[in-house]
Amino acid sequence: MKIMQIWYQESDIPVDYENTAITIGIFDGVHLGHGRVLAQTVAVAREKGLKALALTFQPHPRLVHQPDTDLHLITSLEDRLERLEAAGMDAVYVQHYDLPFAATEPRDFIENLLVKTLRAKAIIVGQDTRFGRNNSGDGKLLQEIGADLGIDVHIIADFCDASGRRWSSTWVRDLLAAGDVGGAAKVLGRPHRIRGVVEHGFKRGRELGFPTANLSGDNLGEVPAQGVYAGWLVQEVPGAKAVIKLPAAISIGMNPQFAGERVTVEAHVLGRADLNLYGQEIAIDFIEYLRPMQKFASVAQLLAQMDEDLRKCALVLGVPVSCRVNPADVTAK
């Protein structure tokens, strides 16, 4: 099976690596619009006998130019690389993005990075591409310089939905901010995923028969709007490129029933009391929004609603309906 190469600096590139067909972008989310450009890159590479290569950037340029901005990545770098590999890339070059790199003149960007370092013989980009100092480089300039250097340049038209809206990372963020994880999945081509390390909480859920895996902090990715969702808790299998997906009811919010003070993501795996996930990195895939967060008049009313949440989750996910677990059966400490 082909294994995609990942390079973080010029010295990582094998000296005998073949010429490339390159596409350029942050690829945050690796949504269907990105997928169209990536597919064209692979097609050009195969037609011309080149390697398909994606040039991406880390950290996100906006975080460098606007360090106080409230921006969370739709996909972690790990997931981004996984999606690029699935799209057929032979290699990815992860360019460290900082202010000195941002000051690169457009011609230097093309001649030195794309052609000299990354051995471009073809360049494939979307029509909104921008590069170089102050984003002064665009598709037209790329075509002009490419013609001078004998490089084939392909500009791919925007990919839009039936209403004419361009498929973009911004659109995904707007949908997630509204809790529309189903809509986000249509733009992404798959469920939206966040990642984090399971931490200890107040253990109120287990006392009520709903033990949860708790995530919090600023490094989870783009967390959807507060509310209750149906989805999957995803565990990686150690030593293998495989995962286990467990059906889950997911709560995002400040736990108004108990006067919480910070937003947390809590995932209850349906019917399971035997999981011990503390300290493990997990992922959560969001499938459907169920209801908003709310405070109930009593804990009894809260429990009745949570029982209904479990039922709805099971129906959405196509798994058997489960009930609350016995708190005495919870094995995690």
CA dist 304 and 296 (Å) reads 10
Active-site pick, 82, 266, 281, 288 = 266
Cβ atoms 154, 43 nearer than 8 A: no
Cβ atoms 183, 171 nearer than 8 A: no
Angstrom distances, CA of residue 44 to CA of 3, 21, 51, 121, 183: 20, 7, 9, 10, 31
Q: DSSP E strands: which ranges in 72-138?
A: 91-96, 120-126
| 266 assigned to active site | yes
Cβ atoms 93, 118 nearer than 8 A: yes
284: nearest Cα among 189, 177, 212, 206: 212
Residues tagged active-site: 266
